[in-house]
Amino acid sequence: MKTITISAVSAALLLAGATAHAQGGPMNYQPSPYIGGDVMFWELDPDGRGNFDSTGLRLRGGVAFNDYFGLEGHLGTGGSDGPAELDYLAGAYAKGVLPIAPEFRLYGLAGFTEVDFDADTESGFSYGAGGEFDVTHNLAVGADYMRYLDESNYTFDAASVGVTFRF
């Protein structure tokens, strides 16, 4: 009985989606590429050895497939604090978006990042959240907080503030 119900609901959803697409409804969305630049305030927190923090730069690029989902990549570099120098970070993330108003949205990111501090390169699961406000149709300002690495003996986090240009 459950299989028949699930099949019926799935068929109804597919039919509704196909009807909306045929009518130019919400599924008629062109992917929207964007690029952004940020000032990145990073912190490396090794367990029991004090924190290292500095400021670097980050480039972001991505594609919004609709109002709720996209893919995004980050490239960052810069800054040093004593023995900790960020050579680069590179990552790819799935982006879930929650539109709050036509010009304001919140988002969450989840994916993987590779981070290189001097000769030590690590990679792992990353996640974060942020918000974005449209200044014009193609230009937005925003901020986010990312946990780029969460290893057993240290964490690497960054808070970023910047601008985004949508094509």
Rg (CA), the chain: 20
pLDDT score at 84: 86
Mean pLDDT (whole number) for 103-130: 95
Mean pLDDT of the chain: 85
Distance (Å, rounded) from C-alpha 14 to C-alpha 1? 20
Distance (Å, rounded) from C-alpha 18 to C-alpha 64? 21
pLDDT digit string, tens, across residues 40-87: 999 999 876 778 999 999 999 999 999 999 999 999 999 888 888 999
pLDDT score at 49: 73
User: What kind and span of H or E run contains 13?
Assistant: helix 2-22
pLDDT reading at 101 higher than 70: yes
pLDDT score at 152: 85
Mean pLDDT (whole number) for 112-119: 90
